[in-house]
Amino acid sequence: MFAEVHRLNLRIRDFVVTNEGWIFSVVSYSNRSDTAIEGLLRYVPHDNGERRRFDGVRFHKLDFDESFEFLRLKKPEYIRGDIHSIPLDDIKTVLRPDVKIQTLLDNPEIGLIVDIFRKGGIPLSKMGVTGSWLCDLATPSSDIDFIVYGKSFFDAIEVLNRAVHDGELSDIDPDLWKQIYNKRVPEISFDEFLKHEMRKGNRGMIAERYFDLLYVDDAENHTRYERGRVIGRRRIEATVTDASHAFDSPAVFVVEHEEVDEVLSFTHTYAGQVLEGEVMEAQGVLEEWNGIRRLVIGTTREARGEWIRSLTLMSQ
């Protein structure tokens, strides 16, 4: 299995299944070592699980804290800081979003999204689905986590917005925006959250189902972002000079600032939050890694006291 994992060139939003049947999402483009990958435990087999796969096996979906509690009891050696480290020898199956989507083209909702993007010039090879759909554990109310790889992601946003404007897809209603905001509980107001999200344009509705577009870099040699030496908390205002990876995980904003070189967000709430050339306000933890100073947002799961907002957008 070691050779297969490396041959597949694992990326974020891929999933792996262990010999025990535990399902992990991949959270890094590259491995921490030659013997393990970085992931987060998402689903485990459970006799009374709320999710049932096509073969009848039931699974329980774990939240962030629950996943750590589970591994502390079952496999404490998998826990490394705030991520899970899965030995390559324990991996039985790799689930790839770009492969899975080819089996879901007959699904009315996913098939329509694919058709809209295809008509807009996005090749099927640049599309994928992750989350519960990738694992065959989607429910009638499951959101669709739709991936578009590389630079095609930004073209897909334009296609999505045209489809909403033309009535092929529905816009998100105010009640659902409130639900999304309350689920994330960010450190910015609802009005600020909504203004930023509306501009991003990477969310939509198909029939009664919510979906969002997720970015995955398709470069062969993606830079690995490691946590650095903590300097302290900072609140800054800075001009963004490069936002080409602002929707990645982590989201990366290169900035012009006397103390900070980059702003990273490990929480999806602030992905795509600021455009190139805009002035950003951000508060987080300043770290130094390999001579680069980075302000990190999302140093905890809740990202309390940490945020990113576009001052340029808010002044308009």
Instruction: Indicate which CATH number applies to the domain containing 47.
Output: 2.30.30
* Residue 256 reports pLDDT greater than 70: yes
* Residue 9 reports pLDDT greater than 80: no
Task: Write the DSSP assignment of the chain as a string of letters.
Answer: -HHHHHHTT--TT-EEEETT--EEEE--SS-SSSSEEEEEEEEEE-TT-SEE-TTS-EEEE--HHHHHHHHHHH-GGGEETTEEEEEGGGEEEEE-HHHHGGG-TTSHHHHHHHHHHHHTT--GGGEEEEGGGTTT---TT--EEEEEETTHHHHHHHHHHHHHHTTSSBPPPHHHHHHHHHHH--SS-HHHHHHHHHHH--EEEETTEEEEEEEE---SSPPP----EEEEEEEEEEEEEEEEETTSSSEEEEEE-SS-SEEEE-SGGGTT-S-TTSEEEEEEEEEEETTEEEEEE-SSSS-TT-EEEEHHHHT-
Give the rounded percent of residues in the chain with a pLDDT score beyond 70.
94
CATH of residue 187's domain is 3.30.460
Residue with more model confidence, 19 or 223:
19
Q: What is the mean pLDDT of residues 15-27?
A: 96
Out of 72, 95, 118, a domain closes at 95
Q: Both 22 and 77 in a single domain? A: yes
Q: Is residue 221 domain-resident?
A: no
Q: Both 166 and 266 in a single domain? A: no
> pLDDT digits over 33-62, tens only?
578 899 999 999 999 999 999 999 999 999
Q: Which domain holds residue 11?
A: 2-95
Q: What is the mean pLDDT of residues 265-294?
A: 95
> pLDDT digits over 54-102, tens only?
999 999 999 999 999 999 999 999 999 888 999 999 999 999 999 999 9
Q: Both 240 and 261 in a single domain? A: yes
Q: Is residue 237 domain-resident?
A: yes
Out of 34, 66, 95, a domain closes at 95
At residue 7 the predicted structure's pLDDT band, cuts being 50, 70 and 90, is very low
> pLDDT digits over 206-225, tens only?
988 999 999 999 876 666 67
Q: Is residue 55 domain-resident?
A: yes
Q: Both 22 and 63 in a single domain? A: yes
Q: Both 205 and 106 in a single domain? A: yes
Q: Would you state the pLDDT for residue 221? A: 63
Q: What is the mean pLDDT of residues 156-173?
A: 93
Q: What is the mean pLDDT of residues 257-284?
A: 96
pTM summary value: 0.91
Q: Would you state the pLDDT for residue 29? A: 82
